Structure 1
Amino acid sequence: MLSLRETIVDPTTLEYLGSRLASRQWTGFLGALAREFSDQLPEADLRALMHRVGARFASESALADCQSLDDVQFAMSKIWMAQDWGWVTVHEHDDSLHISHHCSPLSAAFGQQASPWMAAFLEGAYQRWFEQLGAGKSLSVKQAGEPDAVGCVEFRLGR
């Protein structure tokens, strides 16, 4: 089965679908906020800020008890879906976990100009959740790709 990334879809359709991920009520404000942030702070500082905000979000949105990787995926997805923030899939590889966040509203809310730093929010949330699950500080979540047109972004948990 082809994934959305492998499927040939008209770019206009993808742009439309991506724009529908954030409430119009907030997009003007959040876009202006993102532009002001970008004008005032270096990218590394913005990534660090968003990472901390994501960690705070995860601390305030504790996961349900998890006994398996499927439980982890379900618990995380349940939190994201309750917020209309998409869902997550987690796949185990030999030396890492691959985390795919689907349909995040970040690009639609902040605009593409915030792409270099906005996904650090998700990175921080996943880092905190995996720490709460016992991953320890030696394992870290790192963004593994840029968000696509419909808000999908990849992360990796490993050493």
Structure 2
Amino acid sequence: MQDEHTATLLDYYTRHQPSTQWRGFLTALAEEFETQLDTSQLRVLMARIGARFATNYPAGECATLDDLASFLNSIWSELDWGFVRLAEKDEFLSIEHCCAPLAAFGERAAPWTAAFLEGAYQHWLHELGAGSLALQQYESSSAHAYEFRLLNAR
């Protein structure tokens, strides 16, 4: 028997197969990047690319977490980039992004590719007024998800 999360992932993968046409190119690009920059520099670069990407999709009016989730999911769905779940916790806001096609960069690029999402989310959250809060990536409990937490920047 599948849990709801697994069923959602399998449904998503069934409807949105990742394109293989870019994998060889993206893997070669990632390998070249790694010869020029270290992991921390690559994370900064990818975060900047994510923020630049986000400028093409202004957040507009998001008064509630449901509004924000709808806004984010409309973008990712339109681009076949997975989906996001938001969860308000006592000390942070959890952003879990599932099924992003970042694996196309190759397994070695995993330590830095998710910074693209981090940069995009940081941009949107800053645009919505969370400028004094910091977004950080955390280890996700799912192999198909990236988790980010919005925390007080102390």
Bucket of the pairwise TM-score, normalised by the shorter protein? 0.7 to 0.9
TM-score, normalised on structure 1?
0.83
Are 1:139 and 2:112 an aligned pair?
no
Return the letter of the residue paired with 1:33: L
Matches within 5 A, 1:92-131: 92-107=88-103, 109-131=104-126
CA contact (8 A) 1:146 1:153 kept: yes
Given residue 115 of structure 2, which amino acid in structure 1 is its aligned partner? Answer: A
Residues 99-154 of structure 1 deviation map (CA, whole Å, 9 limit, x = unaligned): 000100001x1011101100000000000000011111x2111111169543x111
Partner of 1:157: 150
Question: 1:26, CA displacement in angstroms?
Answer: 0.7
Structure 1 spans left out of the alignment, 5+ residues = 5-12
1:23-47 CA-partner distances (Å, limit 9, x unpaired): 1111110010001111221111000
The separation in 1 between residues aligned to 2:33 and 2:24, in whole angstroms, is: 14
How much does 1:64 deviate? 3.9
Answering whether residue 60 of structure 2 is matched by residue 67 of structure 1, we say: no
8 Å Cα contact 1:21-1:105 kept in structure 2: no
User: Match for residue 38 of structure 1?
Assistant: 34
Instruction: Specify whether residues 80 and 115 from structure 1 end up closer, same or farther in structure 2 by C-alpha distance, changes over 3 A only.
Output: same
Identity of aligned residues (%): 48
Q: Is the Cα–Cα contact under 8 Å of residues 91 and 98 in structure 1 kept in the other structure?
A: yes
CA deviations 1:56-101 (Å, max 9, x no partner) are: 1111111242121000011011001100001111110112100000
Task: Please report the TM-score for the alignment, with normalisation by the length of structure 2.
Answer: 0.85
Superposition CA RMSD, Å: 2.0
